[in-house]
Amino acid sequence: MATVIQNMTPIAEPVSRFVAKTRSLLINGKWVSAASGKTFPTYNPATGEILAHVAEGDREDIDRAVAAARAAFDKGPWRHITASERGRLVWKLGDLLEQHAEEFAQLESLDQGKPVGLARVVDVPVSVDQLRYYAGWATKIEGNTIPISARGKFLAYTLREPIGVVGQIIPWNFPLIMATLKLAPALAAGCTVVLKPAEQTPLTALMLGELIQEVGFPEGVVNIVTGYGETAGAALAAHPKVDKIAFTGSTEVGKLIVHAAAGNLKKVSLELGGKSPNIVFDDAEIDSAIPGAANAIFFNQGQVCCAGSRLYVADKQFDRVVDGVSQLASKIRIGPGMETASQMGPLVSEEQLNRVCGYLESGFSEGAKAVVGGAREGDRGYFVQPTVLVDTNETMKVVREEIFGPVVTVMPFSDLDDLVAKANSTEYGLAAAVWTPDIKKAHRVASELRAGTVWLNCYGVLDSAMPFGGYKQSGWGREMGHQMLDLYTETKSVCALIS
Ligand code: NDP
């Protein structure tokens, strides 16, 4: 591990301008202050300094935003806009985002902490791709004709209609990607939206709001309310005029959302945490499996819901894999996201730093050993060393709970059935991976793993077209792919007596 501060990316002028001004809420097509007049700071996690001030939306602002989204859905021009036109607007948003790619990459890096190089090649292009993918779907959301067998002559068919006003609550690990992944299918399906970004990372969603206005969505179709989860988020989840909540975040808050949604039985989809097993068999191509395992946990500082945080390695390869992953970890250059040489930035917040360091302490107190890392890096900003823990087992907190930091626990195995039982012995079921050239074994294990995604000889490959979501307490529903449109549509059966 080496800390780098040599060559900071100069901040683009539009980004400096954006952060210099207190940012407002987007409600009914206008930028407005919070009803309370309150604001809150968002921090640069590389320094702990205030980066910008943002309006602190609360229940009253959520009420205003929901009323705007309700009016836009029930009686606004949005209802009558053709599917083709909806698709064109979503596509145009993708084009504008692409044109402003560098500004978004920098703003994401400053607000979230991730290396700007990563934001350039992952966050921004993935967001553009999601917008384009769902723009294409707007004209392809079709029902069926149904050959019903009731007596008489009937024409029966289904319509897929937009679900209505959608509340979308998103986390801080991929703020822009989360915003576009939520907005694109909802808008393509014809819904209207109230989006609440995470308090730690509100800025790219607000900058996207500027592009949304430039695109020309009718007023009230997209509303963005920044604020705290316990106030703005909770008000949105409980709101009686919201038809659906789409949430990504912790399993703990996911359960609160389900309770809050019960009042009007709004539909809920959840993309929650994970503790994904990454399995390396003794016949694996070790030269691919080692960097694959390192990337599976250290990418985005480990703040990834599908991170490969439990690494199971066949006895025979255990020492080699531990050594290889540890060597790669020790070479990772840690530094501010805007430093061009940084490969790993800070964690998102002081709270997350303390949470991850708390897990490390708990691991050590239960007998785990760090082969590499194991501590905070430096005393400025929220950096944590990439860490490889051994002497761990399934009873330990570091193996059971989602750490959401650059910390992997490595455990040996010898017996296949025992391995599968251990891999599945978690309340989560988001993802898993298997490394072996033996296709029978790979597919057999893939079929036995209780996870929404299983990667074979690769890790973390996600695509707008490939469904993603969780078994067990990792969530409800599937995002990405055409299945995501199911989350934003209702099916209506129409049955006509025709003779
Ligand atoms: P949360 O689940 O608290 O935050 C996710 C979103 O939910 C944020 O927008 C948050 O708002 C909002 N929120 C919080 N409380 C409520 C509530 N009562 N009602 C409605 N919305 C609410 O994640 P944290 O930031 O606290 O992170 C904690 C842990 O969650 C991490 O360590 C990690 O384990 C996990 N996590 C998992 C993610 C995933 O992708 N699966 C993503 C992020 C975190 P606000 O931030 O403004 O409080």
Q: Which atom of ligand 1 is nearest to the CA of 171?
A: 5
Query: How many angstroms does the Cα of residue 308 sit away from the middle of ligand 1?
Result: 20
What's residue 5's pLDDT? 57
Q: Which atom of ligand 1 is nearest to the CA of 401?
A: 34
Task: With beta carbons less than 8 A apart as the criterion, state whether 409 and 392 touch.
Answer: yes
Q: What phi-psi label fits residue 220: left (phi over 0), alpha (psi between -120 and 50 degrees) or beta?
A: left
Model confidence at 126: pLDDT above 70? yes
Select from 182, 225, 226, 253 the residue to mutate for testing ligand 1; criterion: most ligand atoms less than 8 Å from CB: 253
Model confidence at 2: pLDDT above 90? no
- Angle separating helix axes 101-112 and 124-137, nearest 10 degrees: 120
Q: Is there a catalytic annotation at residue 142? A: no
Ligand 1 pocket list (CB less than 6 A): 169-173, 196, 198-200, 228-230, 233-234, 237, 248-250, 253, 256-257, 272-273, 305, 355, 402, 404
The model's pLDDT over 7-52, given as tens digits with 9 standing for 90+, comes to: 899 999 999 999 999 999 999 999 999 999 999 999 999 999 999 9
Q: Which two tokens stand for residue 158?
A: 């289904």
Query: How many angstroms does the Cα of residue 173 sit away from the middle of ligand 1?
Result: 10
Residue 76 DSSP symbol: S
Query: How many angstroms does the Cα of residue 146 sit away from the middle of ligand 1?
Result: 42
| Cβ neighbour number for residue 150 with a 10 Å cutoff | 9
**Cα–Cα dist 375/422, whole Å:** 27
Model confidence at 55: pLDDT above 90? yes
The model's pLDDT over 421-475, given as tens digits with 9 standing for 90+, comes to: 999 999 999 999 999 999 999 999 999 999 999 999 999 999 999 999 999 999 9
**Cα–Cα dist 84/74, whole Å:** 20
**Catalytic residue among 271, 339, 377, 479, which?**
271
Query: How many angstroms does the Cα of residue 133 sit away from the middle of ligand 1?
Result: 27
Between the alpha carbon of residue 32 and those of residues 27, 53, 190, 353, 430, the distances in Å are 7, 14, 25, 33, 38
Q: What angle do CA 389, 392, 394 make, to 5 degrees?
A: 130
Query: How many angstroms does the Cα of residue 209 sit away from the middle of ligand 1?
Result: 21
Instruction: Identify the residue whose C-alpha is closest to ligand 1 atom 8.
Output: 198
Instruction: Identify the residue whose C-alpha is closest to ligand 1 atom 22.
Output: 229
Q: Is there a catalytic annotation at residue 305? A: yes
Q: Which two tokens stand for residue 397?
A: 């907190």
Q: Which atom of ligand 1 is nearest to the CA of 237?
A: 20
- Mean pLDDT for 320-333 is 98
Instruction: Identify the residue whose C-alpha is closest to ligand 1 atom 32.
Output: 404
Instruction: Identify the residue whose C-alpha is closest to ligand 1 atom 26.
Output: 250
**Catalytic residue among 103, 108, 191, 305, which?**
305
Q: Which atom of ligand 1 is nearest to the CA of 260?
A: 19
What's residue 3's pLDDT? 61
Average pLDDT across the chain, whole number = 97
Q: Which two tokens stand for residue 73?
A: 């859905």
pTM: 0.98
- Mean pLDDT for 196-219 is 98
- Mean pLDDT for 197-203 is 98
Query: How many angstroms does the Cα of residue 182 sit away from the middle of ligand 1?
Result: 15
- Angle separating helix axes 203-215 and 101-112, nearest 10 degrees: 150
- Mean pLDDT for 172-182 is 98
Query: How many angstroms does the Cα of residue 250 sit away from the middle of ligand 1?
Result: 5
Model confidence at 1: pLDDT above 60? no
Query: How many angstroms does the Cα of residue 143 sit away from the middle of ligand 1?
Result: 35
Query: How many angstroms does the Cα of residue 413 sit away from the middle of ligand 1?
Result: 34
Instruction: Identify the residue whose C-alpha is closest to ligand 1 atom 9.
Output: 198
Q: Which atom of ligand 1 is nearest to the CA of 228?
A: 47
What's residue 300's pLDDT? 98
Instruction: Identify the residue whose C-alpha is closest to ligand 1 atom 11.
Output: 229
Nearest to residue 301, comparing CAs of 257, 264, 347? Answer: 347
**Cα–Cα dist 347/406, whole Å:** 9
Query: How many angstroms does the Cα of residue 233 sit away from the middle of ligand 1?
Result: 10
Under the banding of pLDDT at 50, 70 and 90, the label for residue 71 is very high
Instruction: Identify the residue whose C-alpha is closest to ligand 1 atom 48.
Output: 229
The model's pLDDT over 75-94, given as tens digits with 9 standing for 90+, comes to: 989 999 999 999 999 999 99
Q: What angle do CA 293, 294, 296 make, to 5 degrees?
A: 65
Go through 273-285 and write b for each residue having 16 or more CB atoms within 10 A of its CB, e for each that does not. Answer: bbbbbbbbbeebe
**Cα–Cα dist 378/342, whole Å:** 15
The model's pLDDT over 471-480, given as tens digits with 9 standing for 90+, comes to: 999 999 999 9
Instruction: Identify the residue whose C-alpha is closest to ligand 1 atom 19.
Output: 234
Q: Report, in angstroms and rounded to the nearest whole number, the Rg of the chain calculated over CA atoms.
A: 23
Select from 169, 257, 476 the residue to mutate for testing ligand 1; criterion: most ligand atoms less than 8 Å from CB: 169
Select from 182, 250, 269, 476 the residue to mutate for testing ligand 1; criterion: most ligand atoms less than 8 Å from CB: 250
Instruction: Identify the residue whose C-alpha is closest to ligand 1 atom 35.
Output: 250
The model's pLDDT over 381-431, given as tens digits with 9 standing for 90+, comes to: 999 999 999 999 999 999 999 999 999 999 999 999 999 999 999 999 999
Q: Which atom of ligand 1 is nearest to the CA of 199?
A: 47
Which 3 state secondary structure label does DSSP give 237? helix
Under the banding of pLDDT at 50, 70 and 90, the label for residue 331 is very high
